[in-house]
Amino acid sequence: MLSERARRDIQALRARYPVAQSALVPALLRAQEELGWLPPEAMAEVAELLGLPVEVVAEVASFYTLLFTEPVGRHVVQLCTNVSCMLSGAEAVRQRVEEELGIRAGQTTPDRRVTLLAVECLAACDHAPCMMVDERRCGPLTPEDAAQLLRELD
């Protein structure tokens, strides 16, 4: 189910390490970049490419919070809820964002547009309260800024 290009990239990742399993997380991230998440078939394909048992792949994939073993929306929004952001109003941002999307943190909008995650410190406390919209770091945010950013997503 992976493209030829992704398969080639995964083989190139394999060559960076003396042990194939080291390439596992980077390979899963590469697969996820293409598919949005990691369906069992993709994990099986990565297992085969790296010569690993599929159980090992599943065991590792289920440990890391940014490896998605369930489908996610087109956009993933990570809202920091740790102390520095909390002191700067993260709770109000979260409430406004949940209201805007009509979902709670941890859920995906019914149209599969946005998955909202409440996350721990993003190492961006100089932008508190902050969130990541896909790969973009945004902050400091007022609740209204955050809602506006979400409205702009396709």
**37-76 binders of another protein (CB under 8 A):** 59-60, 63-67
Q: Is 6 among the residues that bind another protein (CB under 8 A)? A: no
Q: Is 87 among the residues that bind another protein (CB under 8 A)? A: yes
Distance between CA atoms of residues 98 and 108, nearest Å: 11
Q: Is 22 among the residues that bind another protein (CB under 8 A)? A: yes
**H-run or E-run covering 116:** strand 114-119
Q: Is 141 among the residues that bind another protein (CB under 8 A)? A: no
Q: Judged by CB under 8 A, which of 6, 28, 77, 101 binds another protein? A: 28
Q: Can you say whether the dihedral through the CA atoms of 139, 142, 148, 153 is positive or negative?
A: positive
Residue 79 in 3-state DSSP? strand
Q: Judged by CB under 8 A, which of 7, 25, 37, 145 binds another protein? A: 25
Q: Which stretch binds another protein (CB under 8 A): 3-11, 83-91, 93-101, 105-113?
A: 83-91
Distance between CA atoms of residues 34 and 56, nearest Å: 21
Distance between CA atoms of residues 75 and 87, nearest Å: 27
Cα-flanking dihedrals φ and ψ of residue 78, to 5°? -110, 115
For the bound state, the minimum distance from the C-beta of residue 110 to another protein, rounded and expressed in Å, comes to 25
Binding site for another protein (CB under 8 A): 16, 18-26, 28-29, 59-60, 63-67, 78, 81-84, 86-88, 120-126, 128, 132, 135-137
